[in-house]
A = this chain, B = another copy of it.
Amino acid sequence: MKKPTIKDIAKTLNISPSTVSRALSARPGVSDELRRKVIETAEELGYMKNLSAQTLKNSKSKIIGIVAFDIRNPFFLDFLKGVEDVLFPREYKILLSNADENIDKERTYLNWLISQGVEGILSSPISEKNGRSNLKLYRDFYKMGVPIVFYDRMFHNQEQFDYVVVDNQDAIIQALMHLKENGHENIGIFLSKKGIFTIEERLKGFFKGCKLLNIPVKREWICEDIYPHEKTFEVLKNLKDTNNLPTAIIATNNNITKYIVYYARKLDIKIPDEVSLIGFDDTPENELIDPPLTTVKQPILEIGKISSTALLSRIEDRYTLPMRVTLKAELIERESVKCIKI
């Protein structure tokens, strides 16, 4: 037996579908008496509104699309929670995509989202080493009037788009200042895949901060493209074998943080006695690791809340001014940085 529709309710009550529609949508123009009866029989019949029909009719799906750069990243635990917190009370639903750091997959999902009729998109856009990205597609969507808010990542010089990101340069500068205060001048940085917006920014922040603080930059200590994680081992081992370890390392994402701890232990490099470490992304476990990790903490829940709030307001008012938010990261001091000031 098929799902009952508005028509079935109309028929059982001998009224017209339009009246049923009005009654169920809480719109005016129906007597209280009738409305009550409609609602009642709707329940009896087990009626559930068909949102596809409604969407088709008034082109409002009450769905927003999320494009995740990689759904396995713990980033999404807090981010999704933040988004869901603001969406749920407003009855918006989430269509979840996972780009897996792959621009082709991202493109496929973006097209699906549009076809599905999402009212807006929350995206952390992928870009590859060679600079390839789906910027053109995002631009097309922008022209079509699809509200888009970038979170965590964005495109440079595309000021028409809304975004909510962290000040990644400042985040690294904070880390550098902390290291400098603790007497470190020989500082390395481990970066994951090239091309990723946040990683590029963190590297820029490193250069900027070193200049600012008068910290010498040494080519071998800028370890780029640390991926997959075994590369962490190679690089660390090489640095150790050549007796060329910096006194401190800054990690630039949670995964690298984790693997530096892991492989340093295997290589018998003592943290923080031999090398100090500042982690990136404060997963709850960072406090429990040995040693508890001094970490740059991003306000991820906030990114979720703010970006989704921004998206909703743009959905409601397409012609509002660009919303560009840059949040500050925070340095959580624990025990992985040793003071070596003389």
Q: How far is the CB of A66 from chain B (nearest CB, A)?
A: 8
B81 touches A77 (CB 8 A): no
Any chain B CB within 8 A of the CB of A80?
yes
A interface residues, tally (CB under 8 Å): 53
Other-chain residue from B94, B258, B284, B288 in contact with A96 (beta carbon distance below 8 A): B94
Report Cα–Cα, A150/B81, bound state, in Å: 22
Other-chain residue from B50, B74, B84, B288 in contact with A115 (beta carbon distance below 8 A): B50
Report Cα–Cα, A74/B117, bound state, in Å: 30
Contacts of A265 in B (CB 8 A): 288
Any chain B CB within 8 A of the CB of A319?
no
Other-chain residue from B93, B258, B290 in contact with A116 (beta carbon distance below 8 A): B93
Given A48-B111, A72-B81, 5 more pairs with CB closer than 8 A: A52-B117, A77-B77, A96-B96, A285-B288, A289-B290
Copies in the complex: 2
Contacts of A73 in B (CB 8 A): 77
List the 7 shortest-distance A-B pairs measured between CB atoms, nearest first. A290-B290, A285-B285, A52-B55, A96-B96, A94-B96, A52-B56, A52-B52
Q: How far is the CB of A254 from chain B (nearest CB, A)?
A: 9
Given contacts A115-B51, A285-B283, contact A95 B95 (CB under 8 A): yes
Report Cα–Cα, A242/B144, bound state, in Å: 69
Q: How far is the CB of A48 from chain B (nearest CB, A)?
A: 5
Any chain B CB within 8 A of the CB of A49?
yes
Q: Which residues of A contact B (CB under 8 A)?
A: 3, 46, 48-53, 55-56, 61, 63, 66, 71-74, 76-78, 80-81, 84, 88, 91, 93-98, 105, 111-112, 114-117, 140, 144, 258, 261-262, 265, 283-291
Other-chain residue from B111, B115, B288 in contact with A290 (beta carbon distance below 8 A): B288
B93 touches A112 (CB 8 A): yes
A117 touches B50 (CB 8 A): yes
Q: How far is the CB of A273 from chain B (nearest CB, A)?
A: 15
Given contacts A48-B114, A71-B80, A114-B48, contact A262 B290 (CB under 8 A): no
Given contacts A77-B77, A112-B93, A288-B285, contact A71 B50 (CB under 8 A): no
Contacts of A144 in B (CB 8 A): 3, 46
- Could you write out 14 A-B pairs with CB less than 8 Å apart? A50-B115, A52-B61, A63-B95, A71-B77, A72-B77, A88-B105, A91-B112, A93-B96, A93-B97, A94-B95, A262-B287, A288-B290, A290-B290, A290-B291
Contacts of A97 in B (CB 8 A): 93-94
Report Cα–Cα, A50/B288, bound state, in Å: 50
Report Cα–Cα, A140/B44, bound state, in Å: 13
Other-chain residue from B56, B78, B283 in contact with A56 (beta carbon distance below 8 A): B56
A96 touches B80 (CB 8 A): yes
Most interface-central of A53, A116, A261 (chain B CB within 10 A): A116
Residue of B nearest to A114 (CB): B48
Given contacts A52-B55, A289-B289, contact A77 B80 (CB under 8 A): no
Report Cα–Cα, A1/B71, bound state, in Å: 35
Contacts of A71 in B (CB 8 A): 77, 80-81, 84
Residue of B nearest to A56 (CB): B52
